[in-house]
Amino acid sequence: MNKLWSGRFTVPTDAFVETFTASVEFDQRLYSFDIMGSIAHAQMLAHIGVLTEQELTEIVTGLNDIKQEIEQGKFNWSIALEDVHMNIEARLTEKIGITGKKLHTGRSRNDQVATDIRLYLRHEIDFIQQYLTQLISVLIAVAEREAETIMPGFTHLQSAQPITFGHHLLAWCEMLLRDKSRLQDCRQRVNIMPLGAAALAGTTYPIDRHYTANLLDFTEVAGNSLDAVSDRDFVIEFANFAALVMMHLSRFSEELILWSSAQFHFIELSDAFCTGSSIMPQKKNPDVPELVRGKTGRIYGHLISLLTLMKSQPLAYNKDNQEDKEPLFDTIDNLKACLRAFTDMMPGIKVQRESMYKAAQLGFMTATDLADYLVRKDVTFRDAHEIVGKTVRHCIESNCQLEDLKLEILQTFSAVIEKDVYKILTLEGSVNARCHVGGTAPSQVRIAIKRLREQLEIL
C-alpha cells in the first residue's frame, strides 16, 4: 500500500516497524471525532476560498459515507496506513478521487490528533458528568431514607461517636460533588481548539480559526501553535480527576466490604451484586466493591504513565504522544464502569438498622457528650475529660455501659451530675445534640440534602 508520506523514501518500511508504529488498532475509536474535525476544517477551507463549494460537498459526502461504512463494520482498517487519520483520508481519496487529496491542506496530523482527542474527551466528560449526577442523586435518596438511622462513627476504625447513616452517606456525596466540580473545571481547558497549528508553526493559508472553532463548539483557539500540538496536560488533568474519583470510590468500597462482613453486619448487598465461592457454600462475596477498589490501582497507574510520558519532552510534537491514548481510553472505560456499578448497586443495599444501633451502644460513644454536659455545669473541659475518663475505666472494670451506672455512682465521679444526665447519654440525644451546619443530627442531614440537591442542579 502506498503511504501518504512515501515521497522522500526509497526503501519500504520494515514490516515490524509498520506494526510497531501503528496506532490504528486503538485510535480508530476516534473515528467520529476525526470526521467531525475534518468536515469543519473543509468548511473553513471553503469559507476562505481554498476549496470550491463543489469540492466541499464531495468531501463532506465522502466523509459521511465513510462514517457509515465504519459504523456498519464495512470499513477496512489497515495497519499500513498507520492511524485513524490516514486510514480515513486514504479511503476518502479512494472514494472521491483527487478532491480527497485537498482535505489535508493547511493541516497536519499533529493538530488533527490533538483536536480529535479534545473532541472525544469533551464528549466523554459530558457523559461522566451525568454518571456522577446519577450516583450522587442515588446516594442522596438513600441518605434521606436513613436520616434517622444511628450507627457508630469511627476514628482510627475504633468506636468514636454515634452518627446517623444519612450523614455518613452525605460525606460521599460531598466528595463526589467536588469531583464533579473538578471535572467541570477541567472541561474548560479541554475545550480549546488546536486546529490551525498545523505541524508546529502554523500555516501559510489565510485560515479562519475562529470559524472552525465555532463549528466544533470550541470556546477558544489555542494561542500558541507549538503548545497546541504538543500539550497533553489536559489529558493529565482528566486522569488526575479520575484518580481522585477512584480514590474516593476505593474508600467507599472498603467500607461497604467491611460493613457487609458478618462481624460488622451493617449492610447487605443485593445478591445481584455479589458472587459465591466455588468451594465454600456459605459465601457471598462483595465482588463489585472489591473490583472497584482494585481498579483504582490501574487508574492511578495511567496518571503516572501520562505524567511520565510528557516528562522532559522537547517541543513540539513527538511520536511519544501516541502513547497518550491507551491510558486515557482505559481510564474512561473503567471509570464509567465503576460509577455505573455504584449507581446500580447502592439503591439495593439492605441497611441492618438494628445491628448498627447495637454496635453504636458499645464503646462508650457518648463519653464526649458526658464531658460536654459537665462543661455546661461549669467544669472546665480538661477536668471534665479526666472525670469521664475515670468513669469509663470504671465501666470497663465492671463490664457495663455509661448509661447503666446508677446516679449515686455517677455522682462519685462528679457531684454536679444530676438525673438529667441520662437524656444526654442516649444515642438519640447524642446525635440530635450535634445540630449545626455540617453536624450529624437528622434535622441537619435533611438541610444538607436540600443544599446538595440545589448544588447538583447548578453544577
109 binding ligand ARG? (CB under 6 A): yes
Binding-site string for ligand ARG from residue 35 to residue 74, where x marks contact by CB under 6 A and - marks none: ----------------------------------------
| 225 contacts ligand ARG (rule: CB under 6 A) | no
Of 156, 278, 312, 436, which one is the catalytic site residue? Answer: 156
Least separation, in Å, of the C-beta of 313 and ligand ARG?
12
Interface with ligand ARG (CB under 6 A), residue from 36, 40, 63, 113: 113
- The pattern of x and - marking residues 1 through 40 that bind ligand ARG according to CB under 6 A reads ----------------------x---x-------------
Q: Does 83 bind ligand ARG (CB under 6 A)?
A: yes
Residue 314 is classified by DSSP as P
Amino acid at 196: G
For residue 225, indicate whether it is catalytic. no
- Asked whether the bond before 316 is cis by omega within 30 degrees of 0, the reply is yes
Residue 41 bears catalytic tag: no
Nearer to ligand ARG, 322 or 334 (CB): 322
- How far does CA 301 lie from the centroid of its chain? 15
Give the range of 106-114, 308-316, 397-405, 441-449 binding ligand ARG by CB under 6 A: 106-114
* 87 binds ligand ARG per the rule CB under 6 A: no
In contact, 361 and 330? CB cutoff 8 Å:
no
Q: Is 420 exposed, middle or buried (0-12, 13-18, 19+ CB in 10 A)?
A: exposed
Q: Which residue in 259, 261, 289 sits closest to 152, CA to CA?
A: 259
Cβ–Cβ < 8 Å for 47, 55: no
Sign of the torsion formed by the C-alpha atoms of 73, 78, 79 and 83? negative
- Residue 285: DSSP 8-state: B
Task: Give residues with Cβ within 8 angstroms of 121, minimum separation 6.
Answer: 190, 234, 235, 238, 328, 332
8 A C-beta contact, residue 217 and residue 125? no
Interface size with ligand ARG, residues (CB under 6 A):
10
Q: Based on the shown chain and the rule CB under 6 A, indicate whether residue 322 belongs to the binding site for ligand ARG.
A: yes
Q: What is the DSSP letter of 408?
A: H
Q: How far is the CB of 205 from ligand ARG (least distance, A)?
A: 19
Separation of alpha carbons 409 and 73, rounded Å = 82
Site stretch for ligand ARG (CB under 6 A), options 131-139, 169-177, 186-194, 317-325: 317-325
163 binds ligand ARG (CB under 6 A): no
Q: Which of 87, 85, 107 is nearest to 95 (CA)?
A: 87
- Which one of the spans 41-49, 52-60, 105-113, 302-310 is the region binding ligand ARG (CB under 6 A)? 105-113
Among residues 6, 277, 398, 443, the one annotated as catalytic is 277
Q: Which residues contact ligand ARG by CB under 6 A?
A: 23, 27, 83, 109-110, 113, 317, 319, 321-322
Catalytic amino acids? 156, 277
